[in-house]
Structure 1
Amino acid sequence: MDVLSDLLQRAQASDALVRQIIARGPWSVTYADVPSLSVVATLGGSAWLRLDDGVPTMLAAGDIALITGVGSYTIADDPATPAYYVIRGGQKYTIDGEPVEWRGEYLAPRTYGDGLPGATTMVRGAYDLRGDVGRRVLELLPPLAVVSGTPQNRPALDLLTTEVAREEPGQDAVLRRLLDFVLVLALRAWCANAELPSWYQALSAPGIGDALRHLHDDPAHRWSVAELAAKVGLSRATFAARFTKLVGQPPLTYLTAWRMTLAADLLRTTTAPVAAVARQVGYEDPFAFSVAFKRTYDESPTTWRGRGR
């Protein structure tokens, strides 16, 4: 498995919310208390997206917006349209905080709006990425990343908007995988032109990308620099120098950091004993694991687990 796929698989929560809006202006919706990552795609027409109280950004048909690390954002037909409603915790409120029933706006499963001719059609998906692995994914993105519509992305968006309005067995699983697909397409397009962390840039480097894949495929293995170099067909010295230059860390330093990232999430999300967590990330000696963990997080695994819960 490639490194980006590994990060996404480890980081995502088991559920994802997908909803469709089909509405003709004027309209404006604010999403509050949003998850760590939202995916907003304009399928027909255009819309304006504003983070918190920031500058509005126009989304044309086919555009995909990735939103991270914000408290709220607003989608509207026009920047001048005043705020109408706030969605918080799945409940609709007026801007004054009064609950509002979803009357007359339910067009199909997971689909809201008026459905009138000339309406804008949008799909919104939301994830809550987990722990330190999720943080690595979010580090790839600014608060708002907009990917322009392309012919390559359109079939995935069309399929997502078709499926979001259906209700059949396994529908949530289908939507989750389609949303994953759209997310990966958008991430790949954004990362092709953005200034990214050194480890991501190294994924496409000959030999180094393969080495990163080996480390992510089997982080518990007792890797040595010599073994990694042999795996990718480079001399030990050449591999170590190239890895350090491209990734920004020596190979085994990167491996330790990745092991600690995995361990931090295991301590938060499982009840496995510290010794079992240590073995899962490559440490036979729980004491050595605790020393390495404390060096990274400034507290013991037990304290980290207690504080996280």
Structure 2
Amino acid sequence: MDVVSDAIAAVRLGRPSSSRLRVSGNWSVRLPPFEGAGFHVVLSGSCRLLPDGGGEPVALGPGDAVLGPHGTGHVLADGSAEAIDVRRAVPFEEVRDRVVRRPGDGPEVELLCGKYRLDRSRTHPLLAELPEVVRLPYRAGAHPELRAAVDLLAREVAQEGAPPGASLALPSLLDLLLVYMIRAWAARARTGGWPDALADPATAAALHALHTDPAAPWTNDLLAARAGVSRATLARRFTSLVGRPPMAYLTWWRLTLAATRLRDSDVPLATVARETGYGSPYALSHAFSREFGTTPGRYRERVRAGGAALTAS
């Protein structure tokens, strides 16, 4: 496994969804905040996005994609008006998958919209570092895998009825789109942190080793040897870029995996302990309680009962 795949898999809940929005004239639609991430891709025309909490509107043109990784509420509006009147915005659910023509001279705009349900209690720091709005402007030749996923997804959504295999193809394409959008952000981000961590050979090699086999009896010396640098060099670079020393990150990641297994499966605690590098259920329970403030069994009961998940420290 790799860090981006693991970061998404640890927090993803249920199945993603998507729809099309086709509007013209002077229009605006509101999307409320939600527990997940959302995206829009402009298939034709242009529009603007205004996130809740103020800030400047984000202009979007043909081929542009935008990711809202933290579920921030926002308004989408036509690009012709000088100002966006959020009070007149129509709820998105009232116009999704419909052709809506509003009074005014604005040209027709078509968007592909979607969202993913995420468990915020175990958000990986890579995802937490993403800004509220990630704009990925269309540029010829840039991010061809993202463009290919957008094209395939648009064609799948545009088909009438339920074509054969759609129930499998659509969520798979949506998952692929999320991966490609995060990749595109990491490739062009200049903020330090996780994009730099994934680009640094030693840190990336250490992260790959920890995510490939988190249950292995890792030590700082073994990890440094795998990364091809000295122990001191790895500790300095890893801590600076990731925000935690290697062994502290490993502990956090093991407990995150344990919480995910408890949430998503009925496997015995002994199996969870073995899969996450703990010698016994007691050892896992002790570490889990210290991190989450409750025992693994009570945690599983709570998330299964539909209660709010607990946040690790």
- Which interval holds the TM-score relative to the shorter structure? 0.7 to 0.9
Q: 1:146 aligns with which of 132, 135, 143?
A: 135
Runs of 4+ residues over 6 Å off in structure 1: none
Q: Compare 184-193 and 251-260 and name the one that shifted more.
A: 184-193
Structure 1 gaps, min length 5: 93-101, 103-109
Distance 1:244 1:76 in 2: 43
State the Cα distance separating 1:212 from its structure 2 match.
0.5
* Residues 1-309 of structure 1: pairs in structure 2 closer than 5 A: 1-32=1-32, 34-52=34-52, 54-55=54-55, 56-70=57-71, 72-77=73-78, 78=81, 79-80=83-84, 83-87=88-92, 92=94, 111-114=97-100, 118-151=107-140, 152=142, 153-166=146-159, 167-194=162-189, 198-308=193-303, 309=305
Q: For 1:54 and 1:244, locate their aligned partners in 2 and report how far apart those are by CA, in whole Å.
A: 34
Shift of 1:60: 1.6
Task: Sort the Cα spacing of 1:197 and 1:15 in 2 relative to 1 into closer, same or farther, 3 A.
Answer: farther
Taking structure 1 as reference, are residues 224 and 209 closer, same or farther at Cα in structure 2, changes over 3 Å only?
same
Q: Secondary structure at the match of 1:128?
A: strand
What is the identity percentage for the equivalent residue pairs of Structure 1 and Structure 2? 37
8 Å contact kept, 1:11–1:131: yes
State the secondary structure of the residue aligned to 1:207: helix
**Which amino acid in the other structure matches residue 168 of structure 2?**
A
For residues 199 and 9 of structure 2, the distance between their equivalents in structure 1, rounded to whole angstroms, comes to 20
One-letter identity of the residue aligned with 2:238: F
8 A Cα contact 1:52 1:70, kept in partner: no
1:230–1:75 distance in 2 versus 1, CA, 3 Å: same
* In structure 2, C-alpha distance between the alignment counterparts of 1:68 and 1:41, rounded to whole Å: 14
Q: Distance in 2 between matches of 1:206 and 1:199?
A: 13
Q: Structure 1 residues 35, 247: CA separation in 2 closer, same or farther (over 3 Å shift)? A: closer
| Kept in 2: contact 1:133–1:262 (CA 8 A) | no
Kept in 2, the 8 Å contact 1:30–1:74? The answer is: yes
How large is the Cα RMSD of the aligned pairs?
2.8
| Structure 1 residue 137 displacement after superposition | 4.9
1:249 and 1:136 map into 2 onto residues whose CA distance is 11
Q: Per-residue deviation at 1:132?
A: 4.3
Distance 1:265 1:197, change over 3 A: farther
Q: Check conservation: 1:33, 1:71, Cα contact below 8 A.
A: yes
Which structure 2 segments of 5+ residues have no match? 306-313
Look up the SS of the partner of 2:20 in the other structure: strand
Deviations 1:80-110 (A, max 9, x none): 45635314xxx53xxxxxxxxx7xxxxxxx8
